[in-house]
Amino acid sequence: MELHFRRALLAAAGVVGGTLALSGCSADVAAQWQRFGLQEPISDRAPHMGTMWVGTWITALAVGVFVWGLIAWVVIRYRRRPGDPDHPRQVKYNLPLELLYTLVPFLIISVLFFYTVQTQNAVLAKEPSPKHTITVVAQKWSWTFSYLESANPDVGTDVHEIGTIDKIPDLYLPVDQSVRFNLSSADVIHSFYVPGFYFKLDVMPGLANSFDLTPSKLGTFQGRCAELCGTYHSAMLFTVHVVSEADYIAYLNTLKASGQVGEIRAPQYPNTIPSAPAKEK
């Protein structure tokens, strides 16, 4: 019976391996498999998160293979055989085994926690003086981007683009130049998410959030709201264009020429709930 079991496992492995080999994979798909499903990183902070993601998957698979191996070994080694008693011998405890399955999970959690803190610090690290600053306002049901370029002689003023539910806004970023994003909400909680950044950050009313990064890959990418924010949450999309510095300046001057000048800010909300008016006696 043990021989038949091994043959069945080998046959199953052969079928899976043959299917994968026959299906064929492009270089891009193969690279994505190596990143465990993540798309290609497009910022300097993304590799930190990508390393954490891949390391966590490898750890999970290693633990899974070990546990599956133990289960298979126990099933084969301690299966009931002819002549075995109806009731196997009962044991109360096994101290080495109990220490093993108590301490090993704590060790795994400690290692993952250590690398999680390291990754978080690297991703959220701020640049001493970012070259560009963009104010991002989330509103139902789109985004507003203000480029604070009044100190830039090639632009000379702050410019903005206001998205609507019928018009997906564009976010232009210069490649290989640091950008600070200042996030705020005009109404409810949203979440600023660009999958290629491997990162998202909540956009909350009355609370200013910010993060820095440097776009590292030219191209056009998709951004979206990653927080279920209401009826038309699915319409909160934006298009990210990572371009050369010359194209970035040209786009901002286009906004300037069309009269879209100035910074758009979200309204400030009080931190306390107003008290009800006193009733007349």
N-terminal to C-terminal alpha carbon distance within the chain:
90
Tell me, yes or no, whether 163 lies in a domain: yes
Q: What is the pTM of this model?
A: 0.78
198 domain residue, yes or no: yes
Residues 2-25, mean pLDDT to the nearest whole number: 49
Residue 29: pLDDT band with limits 50, 70, 90: confident
Q: Mean pLDDT across the chain, nearest whole number?
A: 85
Examine the pLDDT at 71 and tell me if it is beyond 60: yes
Q: Are 221 and 246 in a shared domain?
A: yes
Statement to judge: residues 75 and 139 lie in one domain: no
pLDDT per residue as tens digits for the range 115-135? 999 999 999 999 999 999 999
In a domain, residue 5? The reply is no
Q: Are residues 103 and 141 in the same domain?
A: no
Which residues fall within 8 angstroms of residue 243, CB to CB, at 6 or more apart? 172, 173, 174, 175, 218, 251
Q: Is residue 278 part of a domain?
A: no
**By C-alpha distance, which of 145, 243, 138, 158 is closest to 201?**
138
Question: Burial of 47 by CB count in 10 Å (0-12 exposed, 13-18 middle, 19+ buried)?
Answer: middle
Shared domain check, 54 and 147: no
Total domains present in the chain: 2
Same domain, yes or no: 99 and 40:
yes
Of 98-102, 163-167, 240-244, 271-275, highest mean pLDDT: 240-244
What percentage of the chain carries pLDDT values higher than 70? 86
Same domain, residue pair 253 and 214 = yes
Question: Rounded to an integer, what distance in angstroms lies between the CA atom of residue 51 and that of residue 33?
Answer: 14
Of 15-19, 171-175, 223-227, where does mean pLDDT reach its minimum?
15-19
Task: Tell me which H or E stretch contains 60.
Answer: helix 46-77
Structural contact between residues 108 and 59, judged by C-beta atoms closer than 8 angstroms: yes
Provide the CATH number for the domain around residue 136: 2.60.40.420
Structural domain includes residue 6: no
Do residues 244 and 186 share a domain?
Answer: yes
Same domain for 100 and 151, yes or no, is no
Q: Does 111 lie in the same domain as 46?
A: yes
Does one domain contain both 230 and 247? yes
Cis bond before residue 73 (omega within 30° of 0): no
pLDDT tier for residue 12 given thresholds of 50, 70 and 90: very low
Same domain, 178 and 110: no
> Structural domain of residue 170, as residue ranges?
132-257
117, 183: one domain: no
Q: Are 200 and 191 in contact (CB under 8 A)?
A: yes
